[in-house]
Structures are given as structure tokens and as C-alpha cells.
């Protein structure tokens, strides 16, 4: 439907505008009015698509996570190198710059439902990851003396820690190499004794 399509586009334009302004100005200074203007719609229109600025952030925090890991399921062979590759590709794809990353973090932290969403996202990701981790434990790729859940949690910490420290730093080195290196250490840490 033409109507339907247009709505989708408007929604996308608003999200893009938000990302653009968060990158330029940060979370708080990027007001709903400014976002709407940048998206080429009226302020009221913003609220036809997102009940609040908070809801927008909830939506946007999806950028932090993907479920690409699902692709690895049911394929045989050693997992660790493929996970490493996966991480590299994921990080490479989403172009989070530092100010945007900070803005997203900030938006998430000051917002109860973002918190809930965050945990849902991590939960869903865990669902995908857990069987793979267990399989890797069986294969002897990963140490068996830690529960898979804990290992997944450690992976998340590694991920967000890298993201956070990177985003807070002044320089402009790319995230991808840093993330890759960090996960190298991580995989070494969780290798069997």
C-alpha cells in the first residue's frame, strides 16, 4: 500500500534525523523539535510515530545489538573463529560514532523502559548464544568450568566495556579493530585450561 509505505519512510526519516542530531549535539540538546525539523516533519508528527523521546531511544538501542549469531546455529566446525569474525562484521556494519554512542548510552540510562528493553535484548541474544556456547564447551573450544550463562554475560561485559571506553576517549580510531583485539583476549581468557 502506498499509504503504508509512506509511513514507513517517515518513521525511518525520523530515526535517521535523531541519529544525525545525537551525533552532532548529544542526547539532551537534540530536542524533539529539532529532530522533527531535521526529518522534515512537524513536531506533532514525531509523536504520531513515537510516544515520547524515551520511546525513540528504546527503538534506537536496537543498534547496539543484532541477532546475527543466529546464522551460526546448526553449522558444524569450530565456533570461536567464526564468532570472532561475526563480531568483526557486526561492529563494522553499524556505524556508531563516538558522540552517538555516548548519546545512546545516556538515553538508555535515564529511562526505565530502556532498561527493560536492554535486558530483553540481552536475554534474546543469550537465547541464541547459549546453545552455541555449550556446543563450543563440548567441542573443547571453551572452558567447561564456567556455566554458559556466565560466559555469555562476560561477553556482554566485554562488548559494552569496549564500547563505553572507546566512546569516552578523545581520539577517532575505529571501533572495529579495538573490538576485535579485545575479543581476542577474551577468547583467550575463556579458553580451556
> Binding residues for DNA, per CB under 7 A?
2-3, 6-7, 10, 28-29, 31-34, 41-49, 51-54
- Binding status of residue 60 toward a copy of itself by CB under 8 A: no
> Using an 8 Å Cβ cutoff, are 92 and 126 in contact?
no
- Binding status of residue 110 toward a copy of itself by CB under 8 A: yes
* 39/72 with CB nearer DNA: 39
Compute the distance between CA of residue 47 and CA of residue 43 in angstroms, rounded to an integer.
Answer: 7
Compute the distance between CA of residue 192 and CA of residue 32 in angstroms, rounded to an integer.
Answer: 50
User: Could you tell which of DNA, a copy of itself, none binds residue 31, using a CB distance below 5 to 8 A set by kind?
Assistant: DNA
- Binds a copy of itself (CB under 8 A): choice among 95, 150, 174, 177: 150
Q: Pick the stretch among 8-16, 39-47, 52-60, 98-106 that binds a copy of itself (CB under 8 A).
A: 98-106
Q: Is 19 exposed, middle or buried (0-12, 13-18, 19+ CB in 10 A)?
A: buried
Tell the smallest beta-carbon distance from residue 12 to DNA (Å).
Answer: 11
- Binding status of residue 185 toward a copy of itself by CB under 8 A: yes
User: Could you tell which of a copy of itself, DNA, none binds residue 42, using a CB distance below 5 to 8 A set by kind?
Assistant: DNA
Any idea what DSSP says for residue 145? S
* 7/71 with CB nearer DNA: 7
Residue 108, SS3?
helix
- Binding status of residue 118 toward a copy of itself by CB under 8 A: yes
Contacts by 38-44, CB closer than 8 A, 24 or more apart: 39/10, 39/13, 39/14, 40/13, 41/10, 41/13, 41/14
Q: What is the number of H-type helices and E-type strands within the chain?
A: 9, 0
User: Could you tell which of a copy of itself, DNA, none binds residue 41, using a CB distance below 5 to 8 A set by kind?
Assistant: DNA
Nearest partner of 152 among 124, 177, 175, 178, judged by Cα: 124
- Binding status of residue 169 toward a copy of itself by CB under 8 A: yes
Binding residues (CB under 8 A) for a copy of itself: these are 26-28, 102-103, 105-106, 108-110, 115, 118-119, 150, 153-154, 156-162, 164-165, 168-170, 181-182, 185-191
Amino acid at each position: 500500500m502506498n499509504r503504508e509505505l509512506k509511513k514507513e519512510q517517515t518513521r525511518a526519516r525520523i530515526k535517521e534525523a535523531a541519529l544525525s542530531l545525537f551525533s552532532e549535539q548529544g542526547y539532551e540538546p537534540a530536542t524533539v523539535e529539532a529532530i522533527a525539523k531535521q526529518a522534515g516533519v512537524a513536531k506533532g508528527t514525531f509523536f504520531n510515530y513515537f510516544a515520547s523521546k524515551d520511546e525513540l531511544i528504546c527503538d534506537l538501542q536496537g543498534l547496539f545489538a543484532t541477532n546475527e549469531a543466529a546464522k551460526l546455529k546448526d553449522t558444524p566446525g569450530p565456533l570461536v573463529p567464526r564468532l570472532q569474525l561475526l563480531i568483526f562484521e557486526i561492529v563494522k556494519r553499524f556505524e556508531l560514532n563516538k558522540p552517538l554512542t555516548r548519546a545512546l548510552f545516556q538515553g538508555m540510562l535515564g529511562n526505565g523502559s530502556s532498561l527493560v528493553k536492554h535486558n530483553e535484548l540481552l536475554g534474546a541474544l543469550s537465547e541464541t548464544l547459549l546453545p552455541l556456547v555449550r556446543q563450543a564447551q563440548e567441542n573443547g573450544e571453551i572452558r567447561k568450568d564456567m556455566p554458559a550463562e556466565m560466559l555469555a554475560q562476560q561477553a556482554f561485559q566485554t562488548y559494552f566495556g569496549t564500547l563505553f571506553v572507546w566512546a569516552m576517549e578523545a581520539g577517532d580510531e575505529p571501533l572495529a579493530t579495538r573490538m576485535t583485539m579485545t575479543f581476542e583476549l577474551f577468547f583467550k581468557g575463556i579458553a580451556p585450561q
